[in-house]
Amino acid sequence: MNPFRYERAHDVPGAVSTVAGARGAAYLAGGTNLVDLMKLGVATPELLVDVRRLTSDGVEPLPDGGVRIGAATTNSALAADETIRRRYPMLSQALLSGASGQLRNLATTGGNLLQRTRCVYFQDLTTPCNKRKPGSGCSAREGHHRSLAILGASDACIATHPSDMAVATCALDAVVRTHGPEGARAIPVTELHRLPGDEPDRDNVLHHGELITAVDLPPLPFAARSRYRKVRDRASYAFALVSVAAALDVADGLVRDVRLALGGVAHKPWRATTAEQALRGAPAAAASFRDALEAELASARPLSGNAFKVALARNVAVETLRELAREE
């Protein structure tokens, strides 16, 4: 047991200055990831600053027609929100595909985006892991890597980001609102998480002490016809081997616009910009979907244990787009 202190912050500036001023401090939201990592000895914060009552815990309209999701909104409340279900169904579906009802009742919007990889070696103190202990090596490359990255990995790390919600918000062009020691920032979700490069210990671009206060979704009318599809080893309570978040806008048989992101394939949610570009203006048909996904996945560098993911990602994305096109 590593001793730690617990504080409840009273306002955002107070929380930020407390955490930014202490190297060993961390924010605590639902605790469903952080507390597990503390029990394993992977995270050893000296001070936990509870932020569950600090920011909004609901969904509100924005003047531009989009919506703002408070960082403390639970995954359950967000998935059940009537506006989210009607206008951004892929987000509700992504949330409901994750964890269990009990966990979703505790897990928050801010914490979900910042949960850490489920690479088994990251959670096992007895094995080398560059993400947990920089410079110690990567046990997964020659070890168990069936669930790990096929895109954007580095020699240092092949971990994947585990969040389903992050994949849907990435496809929706969501923007993360933060408050840090240097003031407020707006960060597109597509730029929040990093590829591992030589610094796999850094999951995202936030500075120490920077607090997520909200996530904004832009108005995207065609996202009302969108879908999240997740392939995993069990029907529930399992992380994605591959997932797809897609929205499709078809006019006269041609793709007018599309949003596509893949999960379970990289250190960050993977926005499929190459496929999107190839699809705009193309026939909304299986052949175009397949060509676009093959172009997107041309840069995949799988290992022996996860090579199946390349075809899986392509097929799941093509089927999801075909379903959306049929609904049009």
- CA distance linking residue 206 with residue 214, whole number of Å: 14
Query: Binds 159, which of ligand FAD, ligand SF4, none (CB < 5 to 8 A, cut-off by type)?
Result: ligand SF4
215 binds ligand SF4 (CB under 6 A): no
Based on CB atoms, which residue is closest to ligand FAD, 165 or 272? 165
Check: CB of residue 215 under 8 Å from CB of residue 112: no
The CB density around residue 322, as the number of other CB atoms within 10 Å, is 16
Shortest Å, Cβ 22 to ligand FAD:
13
| Contacts (Cβ under 8 Å, ≥6 apart) of 161 | 117, 193, 203, 263, 266, 267, 268, 269
Binder among 138, 166, 206, 300 for ligand SF4 (CB under 6 A): 138
Buried/exposed code over 235-264 (b: 16+ C-beta within 10 A; e: otherwise) = eeebbbbbbbbbbbbbeeeebebbbbbbbb
Strand pairing class (25-28; 47-50) = parallel
Based on CB atoms, which residue is closest to ligand FAD, 95 or 156? 95
- CA distance linking residue 201 with residue 213, whole number of Å: 23
Residues 184-203 that bind ligand SF4 (CB under 6 A): 200
| Torsion sign, CA atoms 93, 233, 153, 34 | positive
Binder among 32, 117, 147, 178 for ligand SF4 (CB under 6 A): 117
Query: Binds 108, which of ligand SF4, ligand FAD, none (CB < 5 to 8 A, cut-off by type)?
Result: ligand FAD
Stretch that binds ligand SF4, among 26-34, 92-100, 136-144, 211-219 (CB under 6 A): 136-144
Based on CB atoms, which residue is closest to ligand FAD, 234 or 326? 234
Binder among 29, 97, 111, 122 for ligand SF4 (CB under 6 A): 122
What are the tokens at 241? Answer: 């081997």
Residues 148-167 that bind ligand SF4 (CB under 6 A): 148, 157-159
Shortest Å, Cβ 51 to ligand SF4:
26
Shortest Å, Cβ 313 to ligand FAD:
17
Q: Give the binding site for ligand FAD (CB under 6 A).
A: 26-34, 36, 51, 71, 75, 98-99, 103, 106-108, 110-112, 114-115, 162-165, 211-212, 237, 239
Binder among 52, 87, 104, 131 for ligand SF4 (CB under 6 A): 131
Residue 229, burial from CB neighbour count under 10 angstroms (0-12, 13-18, 19+): buried
Stretch that binds ligand SF4, among 43-51, 93-101, 121-129, 166-174 (CB under 6 A): 121-129
CA distances to 139, 209, 308 from 38, in Å = 21, 19, 33
**Nearest Cα to 31, choosing from 105, 116, 107, 100?**
107
Based on CB atoms, which residue is closest to ligand FAD, 99 or 310? 99
**Nearest Cα to 217, choosing from 85, 86, 84?**
84
Query: Binds 59, which of ligand FAD, ligand SF4, none (CB < 5 to 8 A, cut-off by type)?
Result: none
Query: Binds 218, which of ligand FAD, ligand SF4, none (CB < 5 to 8 A, cut-off by type)?
Result: none
Query: Binds 20, which of ligand FAD, ligand SF4, none (CB < 5 to 8 A, cut-off by type)?
Result: none
Check: CB of residue 91 under 8 Å from CB of residue 223: no
Based on CB atoms, which residue is closest to ligand SF4, 91 or 159? 159
Contacting residues toward ligand SF4, per CB under 6 A: 117, 119, 121-122, 129-131, 138-140, 148, 157-159, 200
